[in-house]
Amino acid sequence: MSIETIKNYKLTHMAQNLCQSIGAALLGFFQSIGALAMFIGKAASHCFRPPFYPRLILKQFIDIGYYSLPVVGMTALFTGMVLALQSYTGFTRFNAEGAIAGVVALSVTRELAPVLAGLMVAGRVGASIAAEIGTMRVTEQIDALVTLSVNPFKYLIAPRVIAGTLMLPLLVLTADIIGIYGGYIVSIYNLGFSSGSYVEQTWDILTKIDVLSGLYKAAVFGFIVSMMGCYHGFNSGRGAQGVGTATTYAVVSASILILIFNYILTQVFFS
């Protein structure tokens, strides 16, 4: 055999290997998409069919909604504040200081409150859901539920998904108010705007769709966060390592999905 044929042989071999591993990866990818879609369908359908567990849903309302208030509130406050400050330093170049109130109000309600609240909740709630359900999986508590004739989709997953989807809009509404208030504080006490005209400008520019679109986004983000937490926890691998991986996946996948869906929803609402 000449050197050339050996080289050729090696090349085709490499190409074959490459195709094989790409094929396997693609197959795996579609398989997991399919599994995820089935899980979401099953989980969502159980949210609407009895028996319901009001006690558990209420507990999740408190865990997901109430206990996220501090972190979401802090995020909104400082975001509103820095937004006012940045707009001021930027806008003075164009003599457009008057637009600050509007910029703060629109950015907070349309984008920053839902996205930042979604990401914070993904870190806080998504991780804890994945860790809790994952631990229940590896310690066989989920199997124990089944042997006691309780459907884990209804008992564990539906309350979290319901609470996530309903609570995030409330959190974002709160974040809207706090965020705008943050911008107000900086504008009035730091930049010397007059309180009356700032409030007036805010009210003038805000329309219903600005706030509502943010709240719709929040509902979708809440669904994504709780669903990712449940999915990765429910399918957690074995042992402590399995739970750790599940938690990481839950947070990362929820965060990325939030950013992707934020773009899609913005396109839907404002074009």
Partner 1 sequence: MSMPKIELNNVKKSFGNKVVLDGVDLTVNKGESMVIIGGSGTGKSVMLKSVLGLITPDSGSIKIDGQKITTYSQKQRDGLMGQFGMLFQGGALFDSMPVWQNIAFGLIQSKKMGRDEARAIACKKLQQVGLNANTGDMYPAELSGGMQKRVSLARAIATNPDIIFFDEPTTGLDPIMADVINDLIVNCVKDLGATALTITHDMASARKIADKVAMIYEGKIIWSGDVSALYDSGNSYVEQFIHGRAEGPITKHANFKA
Residues in touch with partner 1 (CB under 8 A): 139-141, 143-144, 146-151, 155
Q: How far is the CB of 29 from partner 1 (least distance, A)?
A: 18
CA distance 255 to 130: 14
99, burial (CB in 10 Å: exposed 0-12, middle 13-18, buried 19+): middle
- Indicate the residue among 95 and 147 with the shorter CB distance to partner 1: 147
Q: How far is the CB of 197 from partner 1 (least distance, A)?
A: 53
- Indicate the residue among 124 and 154 with the shorter CB distance to partner 1: 154
CA distance 77 to 138: 39
* Residue 172 in tokens: 């974002």
- Indicate the residue among 143 and 204 with the shorter CB distance to partner 1: 143
H or E stretch including 113?
Answer: helix 113-121
Q: Which of 131, 75, 72, 120 is nearest to 250 (CA)?
A: 131
Relative orientation angle of helices 208-234 and 158-185, to the nearest 10 degrees: 140
- Indicate the residue among 51 and 98 with the shorter CB distance to partner 1: 51
Q: Which residues contact 171 (CB under 8 A, 6 or more apart)?
A: 65, 68, 69, 72, 117, 121, 218
Q: How far is the CB of 252 from partner 1 (least distance, A)?
A: 26
Q: How far is the CB of 139 from partner 1 (least distance, A)?
A: 6
- Indicate the residue among 141 and 245 with the shorter CB distance to partner 1: 141
Q: How far is the CB of 126 from partner 1 (least distance, A)?
A: 19
On the question of a cis peptide bond just before residue 152, with omega within 30 degrees of 0, the verdict is: no
Q: How far is the CB of 43 from partner 1 (least distance, A)?
A: 15
Q: How far is the CB of 20 from partner 1 (least distance, A)?
A: 17
- Indicate the residue among 120 and 246 with the shorter CB distance to partner 1: 246
- Indicate the residue among 139 and 197 with the shorter CB distance to partner 1: 139
Q: How far is the CB of 130 from partner 1 (least distance, A)?
A: 16
Question: How many angstroms separate the Cα of 5 from the Cα of each of 14, 19, 178, 271?
Answer: 14, 21, 71, 58
Relative orientation angle of helices 239-269 and 127-138, to the nearest 10 degrees: 140
* Residue 66 in tokens: 């109430």
Q: Which of 128, 122, 106 is nearest to 214 (CA)?
A: 106
- Indicate the residue among 45 and 195 with the shorter CB distance to partner 1: 45
